Amino acid sequence: MLSMVNSSPHQLVKNVEWSPCITSGGDDIPMLNVNTINNTIVEGQQTNFTVSVPFGFLQTYCTASCSLYMQFVDYESNRQKLFRTPVCGYAGLPSCPIEAGTSFTVSISVVVPHLPHVIVVLGYLTDALGCAYSWY
């Protein structure tokens, strides 16, 4: 059995397992492939989240208003923190629009808030093209 000692007791390091998101109507949203360094999230620390969209995943195109959203949530206290980054049209990103079926990668680096759930959504404010959910 592998054991790990955290040298900074005020920081909680947790391994991340991602699950698919479900709409309020009970339908699955295509699951995004989300990665962090060593597959961990450290509350209070800068963490880089990389989302890889494989060939054939997108069923529609992404326009300039298509974004990657990261929402950290505590459902018991109803606290939340939202981060957003564009997925195309800026330096280092693909040109807009990204055609349906095209593979691409987008990253966002955030200081992880002290909230136990994270939802990663690719799409628009009212239309998720892909999603992944984790609690840590």
Q: What confidence score (pLDDT) does residue 78 get?
A: 93
Domain-located, residue 6:
no
Residue 6 CB neighbours (<10 A): 10
Domain-located, residue 105:
yes
For 108-124, the pLDDT digits (tens) are: 999 999 999 999 999 99
Domain-located, residue 3:
no
Domain-located, residue 5:
no
Q: What are the per-10-residue average pLDDT scores of the chain (136 residues)?
A: 37 78 92 92 93 94 96 95 96 94 95 94 93 92
Q: What confidence score (pLDDT) does residue 136 get?
A: 78
Domain-located, residue 47:
yes
For 39-54, the pLDDT digits (tens) are: 889 899 999 999 999 9
Q: What confidence score (pLDDT) does residue 110 get?
A: 96
Domain-located, residue 96:
yes
Domain-located, residue 131:
yes
| Count of the separate structural domains present in the chain | 1
CATH of the domain at 71: 2.60.40.770
Domain-located, residue 2:
no
Segments forming the whole domain that contains residue 37:
13-135
Among residues 33, 7, 16, 9, which one has the least CA distance to residue 118? Answer: 16
